Amino acid sequence: MSFYDHIQDEDPEIFAALIGEDARQAEGLELIPSENYVSRAVKEAMASSLTNKYAEGYPGKRYYGGQEFTDAVETLAIERAKKLFGAAYANVQPLGGANANIAMYFALLQPGDTVLGMDLSHGGHLTHGHPVTYLTKVFNFIRYKMKDVETGEIDYDDMLRVAKEAKPKIILAGFSAYPRELDYAKFVAIAREVDAVAVMDIAHIAGLIAGKAAKNPFDYGFDIMTTTTHKTLRGPRGGMILTRESEEIAKKIDKAVFPGFQGGPHMHQIAAKAISFREALHPSFATYAKQIILNTKAMEGVFKAQGARMITGGSDNHLILLDAWTSFGISGGEAEKLLDCAGITLNKNAIADDTRKPMDPSGIRFGTPAMTTRGLREVESAQVAEIMVGVLTKRDDASIEHAKAEVKKLALSHPIPESFVG
């Protein structure tokens, strides 16, 4: 019996799309840094009977009856999340990372209050105050940048100057396309000096932190961490908010999530989160997290040898941001399409102070979480980077077909696992 037997019988068109996507994932390599594979157990939870159940409220304080098992599931998710990240409080109900950030803002701010966050063009995230988001109609977002694009150094002196002038209520760290580790102590020192709450959006590196392959911002005094539960954490698509020690902040966050922004939580998703947190608590996850970084460094070495320009000069984490325009004479959009034809999926991405348009920027962003889940190590990661260089350099049909065959061979020899903990 396949996972899709009933879909095949009831909706052949959706079945065809699902089978096609399964084949695409099995035969190609996912290099988008925010994508990963989940275990069979997580998939089963997402398809469980919990999807039928409304559970508005929190464990022990629900608005509907029949909550014996939903309370057990959410309590397990909360306790595992707290243990995983060293938090005193955890809200596991946000439906995604954006929802988590929005709830966090409204928990801590009044309309018109100021947030100091990383500029999107220098690696930040849409929900950190990009003008296209509706958040900017409510709150005042100001931005900090890198001082040196070639090394990735943040201009902490300028951040302090701006913070003293603007008096932000939140100092926000975190990123979607920044390959280096931040100086958490400096962020917290600046936040304390201007009496701001220190918040870290760990969405991209949550798995690295959980696996102790990257520093934990809570160890440096951050008050709150927001995150997605997929990406490096290898759970279902969803969000979460963690509070280091303040019960007052945690209560405000709970109220902002529900009833402030969400109704009934998606209990099937929370069950899947709980399973993925248990997987991340397994000793093998630390090995996985460290291997992600080793694989990124292996790819970095290939591009360095080719003289390619990487923003910040390389990477300390799971991703690389490469200037395709300077390195290979093609735009990020063109590079994305060429590599897609070769079975390598990544995304076009703006680089710092990019002069090209957002839909066809200068850069490409790629990373190793999903590859590492499949068991690829340094040798194979370097091989993938070499395939990428060949495609981006030659750009002819024969080279792309040869690359596609190599990628398919590599992918099929490293099948997507169904279990991570045995």
The catalytic residue positions are 54, 56, 201, 228, 231, 237
Q: Quote the strand ranges of 85-181, DSSP E.
A: 89-91, 114-118, 140-144, 146-148, 153-154, 170-174
Residue type, 14: I
Residue 197: left if φ>0, alpha if ψ -120 to 50, beta else—which one?
A: beta
How many CB atoms are located within 10 Å of the residue 279 CB? 23
Closest CA to 320 of 305, 308, 328, 331: 308
Taking the alpha carbons of 354, 233, 41, 407 in that order, is the dihedral positive or negative?
positive
Closest CA to 367 of 160, 136, 207, 133: 207
Residue type, 9: D
Angle (CA) 212 312 141, round 5°: 85
Q: How far is Cα 29 from Cα 412, in angstroms, rounded to an integer?
A: 10
Alpha carbon separation from 250 to 77, 107, 246 (Å, rounded): 16, 9, 6
Q: How far is Cα 362 from Cα 323, in angstroms, rounded to an integer?
A: 6
How many CB atoms are located within 10 Å of the residue 44 CB? 14
Residue 129: left if φ>0, alpha if ψ -120 to 50, beta else—which one?
A: left
The b/e string for 350-369 (b: 16+ C-beta within 10 A; e otherwise) is: bbbebebeeeebbbbbbbbb
**Beta pairing partners, 30:** 345
Q: How far is Cα 88 from Cα 95, in angstroms, rounded to an integer?
A: 21
HEC string of 46-96?
HCCHHHHCCCCEECCEECCCCCHHHHHHHHHHHHHHHHHHCCCEEECCCCC
